[in-house]
Amino acid sequence: MKITAIKPILADGGHRIFVFVKVETDQPGLFGWGEASVEGKPRAVAGCIQDMEPMIMGEDPTRIEYCWQILSRSGFWRMGIIGLSAISGIDQALWDIKGKELGKPIYELLGGRARDKVRVYTHFGGATPELMAQDALSKVAKGWTAIKTVPVPITGIVDGPRGLRQAEAGLRAVREAVGEDIDILLDLHGRLTPQMAIQYGRVFEPYHPLFLEEPCQAENPDAMAPIARALVTPIATGERLFTRWGFREILENKAASVLQPDCCHAGGISEVRKIATMAEVYYAGIAPHNPYGPISTAACVQVDLVCPNFVIQEMIDPDTAPEAQELVKDPLPVVNGHILPPTKPGLGVEIDEAACARRPPDFSSGNKANTMARRYYGAEHPDGGIADS
């Protein structure tokens, strides 16, 4: 079998512009799907996928590791978010092809299921403690058993008590509303300095969050490690890290005990599986990052099913993203806060190319997904200085 084409397909998923990847083969009707969505830079990723096409054109798509090595090692430069997202999407598509050729779901090719179902969590929010509690309860009513929010404001290098008090009030209201049986996950979004992260973390600890995510930026594991030492709450990080090499220092510094590699960025299904295995040595778990589309969710689920140290899977609440659901023919259903093992060969989810064609990305300034991209990169401190958002 030979690879005959690698095509990026861009579509407006409502909350994000999605970058899907289609890898075609010389076998009639046999092709694979992947996802390489990156906030704010979809055209760059699509261009990189096009640049990579000739690098593995004509190769056997079932030689996934061989193709991964070509894409990763050729061309001199090591890669960042654009290159590794492109590789990640292609890697997923190659696994999809291999599964379809063999008539098995991908998890069967990765060693088989280590569990019966995948626990998933989604997001909630609200401008006041009352609205946060209300939104949290609405998720619980729909069967979610774990929910995540960003509980901290834009914060200075050092800051006063106002933000701490507001954040505590929000978390207290949510914990009192949902009770002890629902897990609350807190994402600090890399907004804080280590010194402020410790202060916030101590305020949150009486409410027993499942984990504290990105308490500071992950680019300096030496700086994150003191937060982990100062708090009882487990630290999670990794959505902005790539490959085993990106996670090595996190583990060696004991900066986090839950790793959050992203199947769309960290190197695909192949690499997330390896990162998870590396984490096992340190008794750390994985909770793959995934605020993207249904193909990304499907890729994550395949890995989650086989990793003994899997903790929980992030996903967008399908009810809040109907546009994204319409871009695939058969999104994986969420049943009582879990996704059951898909039974179809490959990823188990197919892109609806006609639906994607009906929702081309709109790169003009009024588009919702673009507005979100600007907001992501547009946070400001009260004095007008630029903040991590």
Q: Which residues bind Mg ion (CB under 5 A)?
A: 187
Residues in the chain: 389
| CB-nearer residue toward Mg ion: 187 or 304 | 187
Other beta carbons less than 10 A from residue 100's beta carbon: 21
Tokens of 171: 């978390």
| CB-nearer residue toward Mg ion: 132 or 218 | 218
| CB-nearer residue toward Mg ion: 71 or 369 | 369
| CB-nearer residue toward Mg ion: 187 or 350 | 187
Kindly name the residue from 189, 208, 265, 338 that is annotated as catalytic: 189
**Tokens 């008590």, located at residue:** 161
**What residue type is assigned to position 379 of the chain?**
A
Could you give the CA distance from residue 3 to residue 273 in angstroms, rounded to a whole number?
24
Kindly name the residue from 15, 123, 265, 289 that is annotated as catalytic: 289
In 3D space, the residue among 138, 116, 113 whose CA is nearest the CA of residue 125 turns out to be 138
Task: Decide if 289 is catalytic.
Answer: yes
Q: What's the min distance (Å) between Cβ of 226 and Mg ion?
A: 20
Residues 6+ apart with CB under 8 A from 256: 224, 228, 234, 235, 236, 237, 238, 250, 284
| CB-nearer residue toward Mg ion: 203 or 241 | 241
* Residue closest to Mg ion, measured at CB: 187
Phi, psi of 8 (to 5 degrees): -80, 140
Q: What's the min distance (Å) between Cβ of 27 and Mg ion?
A: 39
| CB-nearer residue toward Mg ion: 25 or 193 | 193
In 3D space, the residue among 4, 339, 387, 3 whose CA is nearest the CA of residue 196 turns out to be 387
Q: What's the min distance (Å) between Cβ of 236 and Mg ion?
A: 8
Task: Decide if 189 is catalytic.
Answer: yes
Q: What's the min distance (Å) between Cβ of 289 and Mg ion?
A: 6
Residues 6+ apart with CB under 8 A from 184: 136, 146, 147, 148, 149, 171, 174, 175, 178, 207, 208, 209, 210
Residues 6+ apart with CB under 8 A from 23: 3, 5, 6, 31, 32, 34, 61, 90, 93, 94, 96, 97
Tokens of 162: 């106002």
Q: What is the three-class DSSP state of 93?
A: helix
> CA 160 → CA 98, 166, 200, 207, 223, distances in Å?
55, 11, 11, 21, 21
Q: What's the min distance (Å) between Cβ of 260 and Mg ion?
A: 7
Q: What's the min distance (Å) between Cβ of 170 and Mg ion?
A: 17
Q: What's the min distance (Å) between Cβ of 231 and Mg ion?
A: 17
| CB-nearer residue toward Mg ion: 187 or 323 | 187
Q: Which residues are catalytic?
A: 189, 289
